[in-house]
A and B are shown apart, each in its own frame.
Chain A
Amino acid sequence: MTAEAHAHHEEHHSSTGLDNRKLGMWAFLGSETMFFGSLILVMLINKHNTLGGPGQEVLDLVLTSFTTFVLLTSSLAMVLSLAAFRNGSLLWGRIWLGMVMLMGLIFLGGQVYEFTEFVTHKHLTPSTNLFGASFYTLVGFHGAHVGIGVLWLGTVLAYSWRGRFQPGMDMWGIELVGLYWHFVDLVWVAIFTLIYLI
C-alpha cells in the first residue's frame, strides 16, 4: 500500500472534516460500549450468585491492581508514541509502541496467571457457578480485546518499517489503534472498579 494512495484518500471530501476511518472507529466503539455494558450487567447480576462455591473473595486485588496500573500506563505510552511519530521521530515512536505492546502482554500474562490460579487452586471454572461463568466471560472478552489490540499494534509497528508513518505522512493507522486501545483501557477501569473494588 503506497503512501500516495493514502495521501489521495485524505484529500477526499468529508462533511465533518474528520477522516472516514476515524468516524467509523467511533461508531464501532459506540457499539462496543453496549457490548461491554451488557457483559458488565450480567456480571453484576451474578456477582453473588455462587451457589455456596468460590466467589468474589478469590479475586487477587494486589496482582490485579498492579496489572491495572500497567494497562493504564500503556495508554500514556500510546499517546507518546503517536506524538513521537507526529514529530517525525520514528525511533521513539517505535519504542513507545513496543512499550504499549509489552505492557499489554504483561496485563495478559497477569490474566493468564489469574485464570490458571483460579482453576487449579481456587476450583473456580466457568461451570462451577454463575459468578465464575460471568467472570470468565467478561474478563475473558476484555482480555481477547487486549490480545487483538496487541496484534494490531504489532502490525502497525511492522508497517513502520514498510514505509508507513514516515515524517510528514498521515498517521491514521496509529490513531485508529490508539482509539481502540484507549477504549479497551477505559472498559477495564469500569470492570476493575465494579467487579474487583466494590
Chain B
Amino acid sequence: MATVTATAPDTRTFAGTAWSWITTVDHKRIAVLYLVTSLAFFMLGGLEALLMRLQLATPEADVVSAERFTELFTMHGTTMVFLALMPLSAAFFNLLVPLMIGARDVAFPRLNALSYWIYLFGGIFMNISFVAGGAPNAGWFGYAPLTDTAFEATHAIDFWAFGLQILGVSSILASINFIVTIINMRAPGMTLNRMPMFVWMSMITAFLIIFAFPAITIGLVLLIFDRYIETSFFIPEGGGDPVLWQHLFWVFGHPEVYILILPAMGIVSEILPTYSRKPLFGYAVVAYSGAAIALVGFGVWTHHMFTVGLGPIADTAFAISTMAIAVPTGVKIFNWIATLYGGSISFKSPMLFAVGMVSMFIIGGLSGVMLGSPPIDAQVQDTYFVVAHLHYVLFGGTVFGLFGGIYHWFPKFTGRFMHDGWGKVHWLLMLIGFNLTFLPQHMLGIDGMPRRVHTYAADMGFDLWNMMSTVGSLMIGFSFLIFIINALRSIRHGEPSGSDPWDGGTLEWTIPSPPPVYNFAHIPIVDSRYPAWDIKRGGGHTGAVATAPEADAEADEPDIHMPNPSYWPIVMAAGMVLAACGLIFHQAFILLGAVLFAISLIGWIEEPAG
C-alpha cells in the first residue's frame, strides 16, 4: 500500500524522531529544517569567505592557490545567495506566513516538504564538487565563455549548472505554495490591506521568484546544451553571443537581489513597530513600495552590464530606471524612521539588528545609486567597490534583518528567549566587524584593486585596507560563533518566554509558543492590521482570537484534522537529484532517479492527503 497511516511515529526513540522529521509536512517543522540547514550553509559560505580574507590579508600570500581562490569566490557567492540567504528567508516564510494570516498550514504541505528536500539535496550535490574533481569556478554569475568546455573541461561547471537548476525547482515550487497560501488561506477579515507587512513582502518575493527564475533556467539549459550536445549559444565561434548569457542571467539576477532583500525588509517592518509600540508608519505606502521595487526590479538588469558596451541609449535608460528604484526604497526607509519617531522604544537585541539593518542598508543603497551612474560604474566596475556595495546591501541589509528575525521569533519557535545580553554582544561585534570588513573595501575599489584576483602586489596602497578587512571578517566569524552558542544553549536553558514576550501585534503572538501542530484552535477573525494589540488593549473583535486557545486546545484537538506525514517528498527529491548525478557520474543514476521519481509520483497521487 502506498499510503502512510495517520499514526504518529514514536518520538521517544531516535529512529522515531528522525522518521518524524523526514516525513513531516508541518510548516513549523519544515521551517526549523530550513533554518538549521541554511545556517549550516551560511557557516560554510562564511568559512569560504574567511579563507579568501586570510589569503588577501597580506600581499602575495600563499594561503590558497589561485585556482582554489576562484572556486572559493564562486562557491561563496553561490552558497550565500542560493543555499544560505534564500532558504533562511524560506524558514521565515514557513514559520510565519501561516501563523500571521491565521491558517493551519500552507496550501500544499507535501509540496512544501518537497521544496525543502530538493533544496537540501541540491545544496549537498553542488558541494560534492569540492571532492569530486573541482568546485565551480566561473563566478556566481558564471559568465560565458568561462563556462565553456574549452575553458573548463572538468565537471565543475556542470555541478553548478545542474545544482542551480535543482535549487530553482525548489524555489519555484515553494513560491507557488506561498502565493496560494497567502492569496487563498487568509483568516476571515484578513484583507490584503490588513496583512502583516512581512506577509506582503513574502508574497511579493514569491511572485519575483516565479517570474525571475525561468530566465536563468533557460540560460542554464542553453549552457548545458553548449557543454553536452555541442550547440554554441554562448560561443562566438559558432555564431553565439556571450552577452546573451549576461542578459539571461541578470534578467534573473537583478530581481534575485530583491528576492534576497524584501523578506528582510518585511521582518524589519514587523520588528520596528513591535519595539516602538507603534503601528508601522505609512503601511500602505510601504506595501506598495515593495511592489514597486519588485516591478521596476525587472527593468534594471543591464546596470550590471554598463561596461559591456550596449551603447549610450541602453545605458541611459537603465541608469534612469536604476535611479528610479531608489525612490520606493527610500520611501520605505523614511517610513521605518517615522515608525521609530515618537515611539516608546526598547532596544532589545532584535531591535538593534533591525536598526542596524536600516542604517547599513542606507549605506549600501547610496553606493548603489553611485554605481547606477554609468560613468562612475565604468571607473569602479569589477573592483572592491562593487564588493563593498553588494555586501552592505546583502549583509548589512539581509543578514542583519534575518538575524533580527531569529532573535525576535526564537521564542515563538522554542518557547524560550535567546540570551539578550549575548545577543547584544553578537550585534555589536557583527556591526563593528562588518564595517571593518567592508568600509575599507570602498577605498580599495576606488584605488583600483580588482575583485576576484587571488593576490596583489605590496606597495600598491592596498595593504592596510586589506588587513583591516581581514581582521573585520574574523570578528564577524567570531560574532557568529557567539550567536550559535547562544542559540544552542537557549533551546534548552533559555528563559521561558511565554506566548507573547514582546507584546506583538500580529496573530502568531496570540497562540502558545511553540505553537500547537494545528496553530489555531479556532480560526481567528481579524478586523485590523494588529489584531493581537486590539485584543490586549481591550478593543477589537471579541470573536475567535479573543478566546484563549491554550484553555480549550485539549478539547478541540481531536476535531482538527491535519495532513498526514508523508515520505514521498523526500523520495521524489532524491529521485530528482540522483538523475542530475547521472548526468555527471554515471548514466545508471539517471535511470535510478527516474524510477524513484515515477514511483514517488504515483505514491504521491495515491496517498490520501488527509
Contacts and interface: CB of A to CB of B under 8 A. Distances in A.
Contact of A126 (B210, B214, B217, B225): B225
A87 interface: no
B176 A31 contact: yes
B211 A42 contact: no
Main secondary structure of the interface of B (DSSP, over half): helix
Contacts of B221: 137
A127 B248 CA distance: 21
Contacts of A38: 214-215, 217-219, 248, 251
Interface in A79-110: none
A137 B210 contact: no
Contacts of A34: 210-215
Interface string A47-61: 001010000000000
B240 interface: yes
Interface bin, chain A: 35 or more
Interface in A27-81: 27-28, 30-32, 34-35, 37-39, 42, 45-46, 49, 51
B183 A5 contact: no
7 contacts: A5-B610, A27-B176, A27-B179, A31-B176, A31-B211, A37-B214, A133-B233
Interface of A: 1-2, 5, 8-9, 13-16, 18, 20, 23-24, 27-28, 30-32, 34-35, 37-39, 42, 45-46, 49, 51, 126-127, 129-130, 133-134, 137, 155
A98 B504 CA distance: 56
Contacts of B233: 42, 46, 130, 133-134
Contacts of A49: 239
B521 to A, nearest CB: 15
B244 A16 contact: no
B108 A5 contact: no
Interface bin, chain B: 35 or more
B210, B217, B607 interface centre (most CB from chain A within 10 Å): B210
B229 to A, nearest CB: 6
B235 to A, nearest CB: 10
A20 B108 contact: yes
Interface string B499-523: 0000000000000000000000001
Interface in B81-108: 107-108
A135 to B, nearest CB: 11
Interface of B: 107-108, 172, 175-177, 179-180, 183-186, 188, 190, 210-215, 217-219, 221-222, 225, 229-233, 238-241, 244, 248, 251, 523, 561, 605-610
A49 B610 CA distance: 54
Contacts of A28: 172, 176, 210
A127 B230 contact: yes
Given A23-B183, A133-B232, 7 more contacts: A1-B607, A9-B609, A28-B176, A35-B217, A51-B238, A126-B231, A130-B240
B225 A31 contact: no
A137 B225 contact: yes
A24 B206 CA distance: 12
A49 B222 CA distance: 16
A129 B211 contact: no
Contacts of A127: 229-232, 238
A143 B218 CA distance: 16
Contacts of A126: 225, 229-231
A34 B606 CA distance: 31
B108 A24 contact: yes
B239 A20 contact: no
B185 A24 contact: no
Contacts of A8: 561
A116 B36 CA distance: 51
A155 B210 CA distance: 27
Nearest to B608: A5
Contact of A130 (B175, B232, B523, B605): B232
A31 B244 contact: no
Given A1-B608, A133-B225, A133-B231, A24 B218 contact: no
Nearest to B190: A15
A42 B184 contact: no
A87 to B, nearest CB: 26
A192 B525 CA distance: 51
B229 A35 contact: no
A51 B230 CA distance: 15
Contacts of B185: 13-15, 20
B185, B190, B610 interface centre (most CB from chain A within 10 Å): B185
Nearest to B179: A27
A5, A8, A13, A15 interface centre (most CB from chain B within 10 Å): A15
A20 B211 contact: no
A30 B179 CA distance: 12
